[in-house]
Structure 1
Amino acid sequence: MVNRTSAIAENGGKLMSNALVGMQDISNKVHHLLDNSKQIDMIVTTIKDIADQTKLLALNASIEAARAGKRQKELFSSCIRCRKAHRTQWKQCAQAMS
């Protein structure tokens, strides 16, 4: 009976040792996953920052395009007025010469 009890205790010790090794392995894997999660979080944060900057650049581009469009309309309007003034002056000049 003592031998049997000793064998059971020895077997129990081996099982506990194996369980501790298994738990240590799980702990290492969890730490590895945590490190990977931190890296993924940094990448996601970088992507979000780039997306935010891209949105700002797109907004600025649309504002500048609107401004340029307004300037083009103003320039076109000025050109039309100049052309009309030029025609009027030519007509006046032609009438004066006749």
Structure 2
Amino acid sequence: MGYRVAQLAHGFAVKNAEAERVSPVFPDKEGALDWLLTAAERRAPRERPCLSCQKPFESKGIHDRLCPACGHRPDDGLGDAQRPVIKSRGN
């Protein structure tokens, strides 16, 4: 997905490929470019700690925050006997 800095009526902002504004409005183009670079750096693939076990792993991006061992468990370990049952008011 491509991003670009666009000039608006009252400043500059970053827009995505669908021309939707994805950043705050900045008074100058440099502010919007800095925001874009920082956002891209945060989303870039790199080693991150797993949010579950805290072990470092090679993350594909900010959306990928669980290591392969924690992110691909078939269940949460509770089992059906320990999982709470939520009943509606009608039951």
TM-score calculated relative to the size of structure 1 = 0.24
User: Highest Rg: 1 or 2?
Assistant: 1
Q: Which has the higher strand share?
A: 2
Structure number with the bigger relative contact order (C-alpha 8 A, sep ≥ 6) is 2
TM-score calculated relative to the size of structure 2 = 0.26
Q: Which has the higher helix share?
A: 1
